[in-house]
């Protein structure tokens, strides 16, 4: 096999690798975007693949040409060393061509991308507003709070009806977070003092657990995951009714504990990156708990352990719900803390 055949074989191998590589991106665990269950998510994925496809073609043409040129214009054995090749100064036509082609490609990409923005944004038309389900989303260090139209609450887990336009109204009580469930749509920041909205319409029931906070927000940012369950309209109505606000709802208090407290103090309050708090009398003392979780957190000079005010913005009912759960749990409440103890 002579030299040119080796190079040809390498080129073919290289091109084949480049062509096959993108196919692995769509596989589970690949680097491509997951399959979407909303039109908004579909539009985002289509833009992704169009941009990827154009970039791949350009990459292939450039790299194959580069390698061909390296081979074609290499120094031949018969050329004496230290001889310089021909010196070329400018080629107006080539320069115009390699400026115009990328400019046209970028223009096409820009026009295509902007043309898909309305689908991605998925804003409802004026007449559809009545059918929109609005849910208030509040980012906290380090969990998500959801408030539904009937004032029902959930923490970290969001329940949505299928085939209804969803409007998430995003806010934060402390630092910037970003709400992101890739199967549903793009990410949107939750910023203190600013209200952002996000629209989408889920078209498939199921559980979507790839959600993560998309903005670094502190030590437990990685634990700020989210789970979205899309259910039928009847199941959604039933869920809302079941979770209608109710004084001292122990099950809700448990999810509140898991979301707001357990990520740092452990599920059993035995301590994790935060200190052990099981049995601490503050947990069942409304005034002390109010001051700690709603007002100031733990941020004392000389005290190395910082705790954000995790319940900033909570209503009195939310504080009562958490206390009700702690009291229902003997280990957390400690001696004398539990009901009737
Ligand atoms: Cu919240 Cu990262």
Sheet holding 206-212, edge to edge: 157-161, 225-231, 206-212
Instruction: Count CA within 13 A, CB hemisphere, residue 317.
Output: 9
Q: Return the pLDDT at 277.
A: 84
Which sequence spans correspond to the domains of the chain? 4-73+94-121, 134-242, 250-333
134-242 fold: Immunoglobulin-like (2.60.40)
Decide which of 183 and 83 is more confident.
183
Answer yes or no: is pLDDT of 19 > 80: no
What separation in Å is there between the alpha carbon of 172 and the centre of ligand 1? 10
Q: Return the pLDDT at 336.
A: 63
Answer yes or no: is pLDDT of 167 > 90: yes
Task: Report the range of poorest mean pLDDT among 84-98, 109-123, 202-216.
Answer: 84-98
- The string of pLDDT tens digits covering residues 119-136 is 999 988 876 677 899 999
Whether 250-333 and 134-242 are alike in CATH topology: the answer is: no
Residue 213 in contact with ligand 1 by CB distance below 6 A? yes
Please state the rounded mean pLDDT for residues 256-271.
89
Answer yes or no: is pLDDT of 75 > 90: no
Residue 216 in contact with ligand 1 by CB distance below 6 A? yes
Residue 223 in contact with ligand 1 by CB distance below 6 A? no
What's the whole-number average pLDDT of the chain?
88
- The string of pLDDT tens digits covering residues 271-289 is 888 888 888 888 888 888 8
Answer yes or no: is pLDDT of 341 > 50: no
CA atoms of 51 and 41, how far apart (whole Å): 16
Which atom of ligand 1 is closest in space to residue 213's alpha carbon? 2
Q: How confident is residue 340, by pLDDT bands cut at 50, 70 and 90?
A: very low
- The string of pLDDT tens digits covering residues 135-153 is 999 999 999 999 999 999 9
What separation in Å is there between the alpha carbon of 13 and the centre of ligand 1? 43
Residue 177 in contact with ligand 1 by CB distance below 6 A? yes
What separation in Å is there between the alpha carbon of 3 and the centre of ligand 1? 56
Q: Quick check: helix, strand or coil at residue 204?
A: coil
Q: How far is CA 272 from CA 253, 262, 264, 275, 285, in A?
A: 20, 8, 5, 7, 23
- Nearest one of 284, 263, 288, 285 to 274, comparing CA atoms: 263
Residue 25 and residue 32 in contact, taking contact as beta carbons nearer than 8 Å: yes
Q: Give the architecture (CATH level 2) of 250-333.
A: Orthogonal Bundle (1.10)
Residue 215 in contact with ligand 1 by CB distance below 6 A? yes
Q: How confident is residue 189, by pLDDT bands cut at 50, 70 and 90?
A: very high
Decide which of 74 and 235 is more confident.
235
Q: Return the pLDDT at 74.
A: 83
Which atom of ligand 1 is closest in space to residue 175's alpha carbon? 1
Residue 221 in contact with ligand 1 by CB distance below 6 A? yes
Task: Report the range of poorest mean pLDDT among 28-32, 43-47, 75-79, 222-226.
Answer: 28-32
Share of the chain above pLDDT 90, in %: 54
State the sign of the Cα–Cα–Cα–Cα dihedral 87, 93, 94, 100: positive
Answer yes or no: is pLDDT of 91 > 80: yes
The pTM (predicted TM-score) of the whole model is 0.83
Q: How confident is residue 24, by pLDDT bands cut at 50, 70 and 90?
A: low
Which residue lies with its CA nearest to atom 1 of ligand 1?
177
């Amino acid at each position: 096999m002579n030299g040119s055949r080796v190079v040809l074989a390498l080129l073919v191998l290289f091109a084949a690798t480049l062509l096959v590589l993108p196919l692995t991106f769509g596989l589970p665990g690949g680097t491509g975007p997951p399959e979407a269950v909303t039109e908004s998510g579909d539009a985002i994925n289509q833009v992704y693949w169009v941009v990827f496809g154009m970039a791949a073609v350009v990459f292939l043409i450039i790299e194959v040409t580069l390698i061909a040129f390296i081979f074609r214009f290499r120094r031949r054995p018969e050329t004496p060393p230290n001889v310089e090749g021909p010196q070329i100064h400018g080629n107006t036509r080539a320069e115009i061509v390699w400026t115009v082609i990328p400019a046209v490609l970028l223009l096409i990409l820009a026009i295509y991308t902007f043309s898909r923005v309305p689908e991605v944004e998925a804003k409802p038309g004026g007449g559809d507003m009545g059918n929109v389900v609005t849910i208030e989303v509040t980012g906290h260090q380090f969990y998500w709070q959801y408030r539904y139209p009937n004032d029902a609450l959930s923490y970290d887990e969001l329940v949505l009806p299928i085939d209804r336009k969803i409007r998430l109204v995003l806010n934060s009580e402390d630092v910037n977070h970003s709400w992101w469930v890739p199967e549903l749509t793009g990410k949107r920041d939750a910023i203190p003092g600013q209200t952002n909205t996000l629209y989408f319409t889920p078209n498939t029931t199921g559980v979507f657990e790839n959600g993560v906070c998309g903005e670094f927000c502190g030590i437990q940012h990685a634990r700020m995951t989210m789970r979205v369950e899309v259910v039928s309209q009847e199941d959604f109505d039933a869920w809302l009714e079941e979770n209608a606000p109710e004084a001292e709802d122990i099950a809700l208090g448990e999810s509140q504990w898991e979301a707001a407290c357990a990520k740092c103090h452990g599920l059993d309050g035995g301590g994790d990156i935060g200190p052990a708090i099981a049995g601490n009398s503050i947990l069942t003392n409304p005034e002390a708990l109010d001051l700690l979780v709603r007002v100031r957190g733990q941020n004392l000079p000389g005290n190395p352990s910082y705790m954000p005010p995790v319940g900033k913005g909570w209503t009195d009912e939310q504080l009562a719900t958490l206390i009700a759960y702690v009291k229902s749990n003997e280990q957390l409440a400690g001696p004398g803390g539990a009901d009737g103890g």
